[in-house]
Amino acid sequence: MPIMWLESRMTFQNRQRSYPPVWALFCFGVYVIWNIRWMLVGKVPPSLSLSFLGIPCPTTGCTRSLMALLHGDLHASLLWNPFTVPIILLLALSAWMLSRAGLKKTVIVLPSWMGAAWCGVLFLAWVSKLLLGRTYW
């Protein structure tokens, strides 16, 4: 009898909803407010980490890189951020996987290999930004 109760309790606990931590919601709120503030004055929002810490984030220059790529300037695109295309592909794949799980009404979680791919690409993008120098931040 106690074993059955324990198994049913474990099943119930696994079905409970989990919410993002307060610090994550706060950081997201700061990020949204920062971007809205700059867009309201008609400017592209600068990177938060570059503005406050003086170092670029891995995605710094992605917008300029994508614009250069769309204009056919591959060299400029690679200088602004050489990992723009892998970041966009990972973003699209992640969005597709999450929306598919949501439509199937299953658990909305990315597989662990996706987390490793994100960490790897963002780390390499950050290292490349540091190696390219401040000119392309």
**89-129 residue pLDDT tens:** 999 999 999 999 889 888 888 899 999 999 999 999 999 99
Give the C-alpha separation, 37 to 45, whole Å. 8
- pLDDT of the residue at 136: 84
Give the number of domains in the chain: 2
Place of tokens 């867009």: 39
* Domain co-membership, 38 together with 61: no
**In the predicted model, is pLDDT for residue 87 greater than 70?**
yes
- pLDDT of the residue at 15: 54
Residue 51 lies in a domain: no
* Domain co-membership, 3 together with 60: no
Residue 136 lies in a domain: yes
Residue 74 lies in a domain: yes
* Domain co-membership, 72 together with 115: yes
* Domain co-membership, 69 together with 39: no
* Domain co-membership, 38 together with 78: no
pTM, two decimals, is 0.70
Contact 82, 61 (CB under 8 A): no
* Domain co-membership, 63 together with 82: yes
**20-79 residue pLDDT tens:** 789 989 999 999 999 999 999 998 788 888 888 988 888 888 989 999 999 999 999 999
- Which band of pLDDT confidence, cut at 50, 70 and 90, is reported for residue 3? very low
- Which band of pLDDT confidence, cut at 50, 70 and 90, is reported for residue 14? low
**In the predicted model, is pLDDT for residue 8 greater than 50?**
no
- pLDDT of the residue at 16: 61
Q: Residue 94 belongs to what domain range?
A: 56-137
Residue 62 lies in a domain: yes
* Domain co-membership, 29 together with 79: no
Residue 15 lies in a domain: yes
Residue 116 lies in a domain: yes
Give the C-alpha separation, 89 to 21, whole Å. 28
